[in-house]
A and B are shown apart, each in its own frame.
Chain A
């Protein structure tokens, strides 16, 4: 067990990779809770694709990939908020158009490169083992900004997710809150570009939060669980992909291994659901609780 979980992380690049996936796991897990509660998984997916051309353009221009992703992410978050608020274009059509058009632009640009396939796969699926200290610092910075925003706005975002009309009636600007969440999703994608690429990051956002939703009925516990599961999945995924690659000589892509493990958590939570609920019911009937349904 130690060989699998601890030993791989004695070399520098593996330590950086571990730090990156732990940060991303916590970050994506926390934002993912709001994505799942708002049923925005498809919006998140669209944002992961719209960041892609920014990455490519920055790479072609010799600029920082982080800044390219950031610009594209913010622009698409804004565009998405405006488009989905438009009554004449249905939200799903707006998303599909935005997703495919941005993504196509990215692919067109990448296809001009000599090393087309290798670069494309790096952008789409990331190279977590090649994360350098400055990229790690960028991820840390983004994580700090995103998590601080979530802490500050949690009750407003929660109210908006539960009852948008009620939030507007209380005087909250629902469109601004939507823009904030879209920007947060885009920032997670930006932070994850190098480590897991633009495509797989949606799994990091949605899967741990969806798993957490199966395990608890409380938002606070859901956030804690989603962050924990995201980080745990990152750690296990890295360890397993390293172990299999080194010990068995079979190359496993780290990012994809992480996603497979996260989905594994989800399947376990889903499959054990009936048993867990039965157990909870038994605890309920044994324990002393206030009488239920007294008013009916």
Chain B
């Protein structure tokens, strides 16, 4: 129904020497790599490295000034309906009067279209998505009253309801409880099983090892893109982070699997 003409292979995301800029001067350069359907890639780099900017470029919200970014076989802006962006839960207004169920339902908006209201099928999809992240019992509770981890799961439910084929997650594991992290990872694994590709920006190297096939090391330009085992090396990490301290949670992980 929504398939585009050029969409033949299984490549969810193709980056070809892409440079991204808000004005003229690129904030990110030389981004090059491929994410296949069902794969997961971690964007790793210090604060201000351009991880969020890259996510925005994949959404078509920041222009690509050199090279190219191809999303699901087409230009980024054309694929938005099938690309879900999952923001950090604590960037959203906790006082806003919406329930968890309503937030999940927002994932259906791109499918519902302008003017029309979400129908029964949309409500069922939103309810199923909440179930998927273990929050079926919380649908009627206000979003802001949930814990940080639960809110992050609601936002993932919104992405699931959107039935996206590429998910972009911005630091989803920052400051959330272990139980929520487990549920998030389990839901993401099931999504990958259905062929969805996942791009996740994170500081958490252990998590990249645990969950991702590939990593993209970023700090203004790309320091490496490839399989976790061969790319997440102490040398490349040191190059990426420069003199800055690494934010590790289990630093032995890197050393144990060089």
A residues in contact (CB < 8 Å) with B: 37, 152-153, 155-156, 158-159, 161-163, 165-166, 168-171, 213, 216-219, 222, 290-292, 294-296
Structural contact, B109 and A161, CB atoms closer than 8 A: no
- In the complex, whether B98 has a CB less than 8 A from a CB of chain A is yes
| A16: min CB distance to chain B, Å | 34
Task: Return the contact of B92 from the options A158, A163, A168 (Cβ within 8 A).
Answer: A163
Number of interface residues of B (CB under 8 A): 41
Q: Is the CB of B59 within 8 A of A162?
A: no
Tell me whether B135 is interfacial, beta carbon within 8 Å.
yes
Contact A169 B85 (CB under 8 A): yes
A170-B81, A170-B109, A295-B179 are known contacts. Are A219 and B98 too (CB-CB below 8 A)?
Answer: yes
CB–CB A162/B92 < 8 A: yes
Residue of A nearest to B60 (CB): A171
- State whether A152 touches B115 (Cβ < 8 A): yes
Partner of B93, one of A152, A162, A216, A295: A162
Q: Which of A152, A153, A159, A168 contacts B59 (CB 8 A)?
A: A168
Residues of B within 8 A of A162 (CB): 92-93, 96, 98, 103, 106
Contact across chains for B61 and A168 when beta carbons are under 8 A apart = yes
In the complex, which residues of chain A have a beta carbon less than 8 angstroms from the beta carbon of B96?
Answer: 37, 161-162
The answer to whether A37 touches B109 (Cβ under 8 A) is no
Q: Which A residues are in CB contact (< 8 Å) with B137? A: 290-292, 294-295
Contact B59 A295 (CB under 8 A): no
Nearest opposing residue in chain B for A165, CB measure: B87
Contacts between chains A and B (CB distance < 8 A), count = 81
Q: Are B142 and A217 in contact (CB under 8 A)?
A: yes
- Select one of B93, B106, B110, B179 contacting A171, CB under 8 A: B110
Contacting pair A155 B109 (CB below 8 A): yes
CB-CB under 8 A from A294, the residues of chain B are 137
18 A-B residue pairs with Cβ-Cβ distance under 8 Å, sorted by A, are A37-B96, A152-B114, A153-B114, A153-B115, A155-B106, A155-B109, A161-B96, A163-B92, A165-B87, A169-B85, A171-B77, A171-B110, A218-B97, A290-B137, A295-B150, A295-B179, A296-B147, A296-B179
List B residues 230-250 near A (Cβ within 8 Å): none
Closest 10 CB pairs of A and B: A169-B85, A171-B80, A295-B134, A170-B110, A217-B97, A290-B137, A169-B59, A217-B142, A162-B96, A152-B115
Determine if A156 and B135 form an interchain contact, defined as CB atoms under 8 angstroms apart: no
Closest Cβ of chain A to B13, distance in Å, is 15
For residue A296, which residues in chain B have a CB less than 8 angstroms away from its CB? 147, 149-150, 177, 179-180
Residues of B within 8 A of A159 (CB): 106, 109
* CA gap between A292 and B135 in the complex, in Å: 10
Residues of B within 8 A of A295 (CB): 134-135, 137-138, 150, 179-180, 183
Whether A170 and B115, one on each chain, are in contact in the complex, defined by CB atoms closer than 8 angstroms, is no
The answer to whether A166 touches B97, judged by C-beta atoms less than 8 angstroms apart, is no
Q: Does B35 contact A (CB under 8 A)?
A: no
Q: B120 on the interface (CB 8 Å rule)? A: no
| Shortest distance between the CB of B54 and any CB in chain A (Å) | 13
Q: Within 8 Å CB of B77, what residues of A? A: 171
- Decide if B106 touches A216 in the complex (CB within 8 Å): no
Q: What's the minimum C-beta distance from B232 to chain A, rounded to whole angstroms? A: 28
Residues from chain A with a CB closer than 8 A to the CB of B59 are: 168-169
Given A155-B112, A169-B59, 12 new contacts (CB under 8 A): A155-B106, A155-B118, A166-B106, A166-B158, A169-B83, A169-B84, A169-B168, A218-B99, A294-B137, A295-B134, A295-B137, A295-B138
**Candidate in B99, B109, B115, B177 with the most chain A CB atoms within 10 angstroms:** B109
Q: Give A166 to B83 CA distance when docked, in angstroms.
A: 11
- Quick one: which of B97, B98, B183 has the most chain A CB within 10 A? B97
Q: Is the Cβ of A156 less than 8 Å from the Cβ of B114?
A: yes
A111 to B230, CA, bound (A): 76
Distance (Å) between the CB of A68 and the closest chain B CB?
32
B24 at the interface (CB under 8 A from A): no
The residue that A169 contacts in the complex, of B61, B135, B142, B150, with Cβ under 8 A, is B61
